[in-house]
Amino acid sequence: MAELDLVIRGGSVVDGTGAPARKADIGVRDGHIVAIGSGVGGAAREIDATGKVVAPGFIDIHTHFDPQLCWDGYATPSIEHGITTVVIGNCSLSLAPIRGAEGADKIVKMFGVIEDIKQRTFDAAVPFSWESFPEYLNHMRGGLGINVGALIGHSALRFYVMGAQSQERAATPDELAEMCRLVEEAMAAGAMGISSSYVDIDEKGKPVPSQLATLEEKIALAKAMAKSGRGIWQIVPYFLDMQRQIENIRELGEISLAAGVPCSLQPVLSSPTSPHATEIIQALEAEHARGARVYGQVMPRCFDLNMRLSETSMLLFSMPAWKAIMDLPVAERKKQFADPAKRDVLVAQMKQTVGMGSALPFMTVGETKANPQYRGRALMEIAQAEGKEVGEVILDLSLADDLDTEFQLKNVINVDKAAVADLIDHPLCHFGASDAGAHITQFCGTGDTTYLLQHFVRETGRMTLERAVFRMTGEVAKDWGLHDRGTLEAGKAADIVVFDPATVTVGGEEFVDDFPGEARRYVRRAKGFSAVVVNGEMVYDGQAYTSARPGRIV
């Protein structure tokens, strides 16, 4: 046998199938696993995994790294958390197909509203040098350090074919035929499926194009996707109303049955009123009972949010006066928030929102340069102590800090860890509602894989190591059509992660200034990972990234 490219020796192999861990060596050649067992031969490079776990690279099925991959082929900090494959193009938004400046402008504005990625970042680092989906995939190829599964955004597709009418009406037969043709073309070029949305709105408050699609259109597109022999239909449901969300799940069942494809919705969360998301789980079970393949997506962390008036915040969208100012450039925003003539309206709107049950009063003060004495205190507590309204506290603290005071909402959604454990272990829920790459000035979605290993495996024992790895690898690979990876088997792609189960830990959120266009974001780092291998090449050695770019469109 010719010399191997890489051998990982002496580790405890958790192969992604759910089988018990076993001690073995793994041999890699030409990007694939070629040997698993004892006494695997020599190699150009060896990794000593003694005392550590060797597992398939983790798969993150719900991200919005679409723009970031244009300048950061590693989708940082994902690889640091053992992730070797990310799925982009979720929630009906993708960067292709796109037609000219008008198309680019529309996509950028929707990304800004829905995913909190700034226009100045797009302007600085996303070239839009493509039009078709195949051209977009080709643009990414060669510069990736991580594998990418790319969904076709339903809203992007409709806008490309129908223009502004995509947000006004159903498609004509000719328009639908063109959309189906484009889907077939994209799938042939390597697309992974289609994403849609029942809830999102654009920069003008109008429903995104996918919301205007009929069920007939969705089924036709899903059938066009399925001609490739693979494909998944992903959606974000109308989560603001439970009954409508149940109807969305029922519609997914219709799409799945008609086109013979799996469907997925994100997110399924534990809330104070429904810790086990009972209604959603029952709806998923009902669809499976009639033969449909419909899955939820779950996350292990609390769905915590940060808010700064210098950035963006979904918590302020429902208040017109606040949102109008938040839509302005930061310099003008400071003037408007400081204007005494606007204060009464702002405070009154905030009071009304608080009275309707908003979580805003329960936010605590985080990072603040001007008022460190308030750190850790709840807005309601400060308001009561100082005889102010909550809106006044937010304005006063923010203005003293150049609008950069950090307010934190913690332990409200997904806080019942026993209920969350049940959800992330449910057979009809896929692990992976991370939203990584989106809402970057409000939270960091990356790090859920590390948190699962740290909290639910090591600290609480709620899930075995083998089960946790299976949920992050082999299970989603099978259900999402990634048949060439996801498990450690001879012939499969060598996406491999080596970590210490006794020390693997996710760090707290850090607010960093490392995005193009002078933009900022939250990140979470990891400890305990000593090697991340993508398609047979080391991309992260536990301390730093390498120069390797072996990522592929999968």
pLDDT digits (tens, 9 = 90+) for 266-278: 999 999 889 999 9
Cβ atoms of 22 and 500 within 8 Å: the answer is: no
Residue among 96, 86, 264, 93 nearest 185 (CA): 96
Select from 188, 195, 248, 251 the least CA-distant residue to 221: 195
User: Residue 521 carries which DSSP code?
Assistant: E
Q: Are 261 and 272 in contact (CB under 8 A)?
A: no
> Is 204 a domain residue?
yes
222 and 140 co-located in one domain: yes
Number of structural domains (the chain) is 3
pLDDT band at 355 (very low <50, low <70, confident <90, very high): confident
Kindly state the tokens that stand for 466: 């083998």
Cα gap 425→406, rounded to integer Å: 34
DSSP 503: T
268 and 248, same domain (yes or no):
yes
The first and second tokens of residue 301, run together, are 């962390």
CATH assignment at residue 207: 3.20.20.140
Residue 361 has a pLDDT of: 87
Domain annotation covers residue 489: no
* pLDDT, tens digit (0-9, with 9 covering 90-100), for 89-98: 999 999 999 9
Please provide the DSSP assignment of 448-464 as one string.
Answer: HHHHIIIIIIIIS-SS-
The reply to whether 420 and 337 lie within a common domain is no
pLDDT tens-place string over residues 488-545: 999 999 999 999 999 999 999 999 999 999 999 999 999 999 999 999 999 999 999 9
CA distance 217 to 194: 13
Q: Does residue 551 sit within a domain?
A: no
1 pLDDT higher than 80: no
Residue 377's CB: how many other CB atoms inside 10 A?
14
Number of C-beta neighbours around residue 264 at 10 A: 27
The one-letter amino acid code at 154 reads H
**Percentage of the chain modeled with pLDDT above 90:** 95
CA distance from start to end of the chain:
29
What phi and psi values does residue 527 have, to the nearest 5 degrees? Answer: -125, 155
Angstrom distance (rounded) from CA 326 to CA 328? 5
Closest CA to 148 of 133, 134, 137: 137
How confident is the model at residue 304, as a pLDDT? 93
Share of the chain above pLDDT 70, in %: 100
Cα angle, residue 17 at apex, residues 12 and 20 outer, rounded to 5°: 45
Average pLDDT over residues 27-56: 95
Q: Helices then strands (H, E): number in the chain?
A: 17, 21
Beta carbons within 10 angstroms of residue 372's beta carbon = 10
> Are both 169 and 267 inside the same structural domain?
yes
Residue 7 is inside which H or E element, if any?
strand 4-13
The angle, 0 to 180 degrees and rounded to 10, between the axes of the packed helices 173-189 and 133-140 is 20
In a domain, 260, yes or no: yes
Among 409, 437, 465, the domain-final residue is 409
In 378-488, the DSSP E strands lie at 407-409, 429-431
Q: Is 65 inside any structural domain?
A: yes
Triad 246, 251, 254: Cα angle to 5°? 135
Q: What's the CATH code of the domain at 42? A: 2.30.40.10
Residues 52 and 65 in one domain: no
Give the residue numbers spanning the domain of 328: 311-409
Residues comprising the chain, all counted: 554
Q: Are 530 and 498 in contact (CB under 8 A)?
A: yes
In order, the DSSP letters of 94-154 are -S-S--HHHHHHHHHHHHHHHH---HHHHHHH------SHHHHHHHHTTS-SSEEEEEEEH
Read off the pLDDT of each residue in 387-404 and give the average, rounded to a whole number.
97
Give the Cα separation of 472 and 464 in Å (integer).
Answer: 13
Calpha distance 464→92 (Å, rounded) = 35
What are the pLDDT digits (tens) for 473-497? Answer: 999 999 999 999 999 999 999 999 9
H/E segment holding residue 52: none
Global confidence as pTM:
0.96
Same domain, 229 and 153: yes
Boundary-marking domain end, from 409, 430, 450: 409
Percent helix, strand, coil in the chain (nearest 5)?
Answer: 40, 20, 40
Same domain, 342 and 292: no
Q: Which residues pair with 208 in a beta bridge?
A: none
> What tokens appear for 125 in the block?
């680092």
pLDDT digits (tens, 9 = 90+) for 59-114: 999 999 999 999 999 999 999 999 999 999 999 999 999 999 999 999 999 999 99
Question: Which strand (E) or helix (H) includes residue 155?
Answer: helix 154-162
Q: What is the pLDDT of residues 279-303, one digit of tens each?
A: 999 999 999 999 999 999 999 999 9
The verdict on 161 and 250 lying in the same domain is yes
The answer on 426 and 346 residing in a single domain is: no
Note whether 490 and 36 are within 8 A (CB): yes
pLDDT, tens digit (0-9, with 9 covering 90-100), for 160-201: 999 999 999 999 999 999 999 999 999 999 999 999 999 999
pLDDT band at 2 (very low <50, low <70, confident <90, very high): low
Among candidate residues 409, 438, 468, the one where a domain is terminated: 409
Whether residue 25 has pLDDT greater than 90:
yes
Q: Residue 485: inside a domain, yes or no?
A: no
Residues 399 and 284 in one domain: no
154 in the same domain as 137: yes
Instruction: Mark whether 290 and 364 lie in a shared domain.
Output: no
**Any idea which residue has 């509203």 for tokens?**
113
Contact by Cβ (8 Å): 40, 58: no
The model's confidence at residue 252, banded by pLDDT at 50, 70 and 90, is very high
Neighbours of 266 (CB within 10 A): 25
Distance CA 516, CA 510 (A): 17
- Of 472, 114, 490, the closest CA to residue 297 belongs to 472
Reduce the DSSP state of residue 207 to 3 states and report it: strand
Between residues 234 and 317, the one the model is more confident about: 234
The pLDDT confidence band at residue 3, using thresholds 50, 70 and 90, is confident
User: Residue 486 domain-assigned?
Assistant: no
Tokens of 470: 């299976």
* Average pLDDT of the chain to the nearest whole number: 96
Contacts of 217 (CB under 8 A, 6+ apart): 170, 171, 176, 179
Q: Give 362: exposed, middle or buried? Use CB within 10 Å, 0-12, 13-18, 19+.
A: middle
Distances (CA, A) of 427 to 1, 54, 76, 276, 512: 41, 24, 29, 14, 37
pLDDT given for residue 39 in this prediction: 84
Structure tokens at 547: 């120069």
pLDDT class for 41, splitting at 50, 70, 90?
confident
**258 located within any domain:** yes
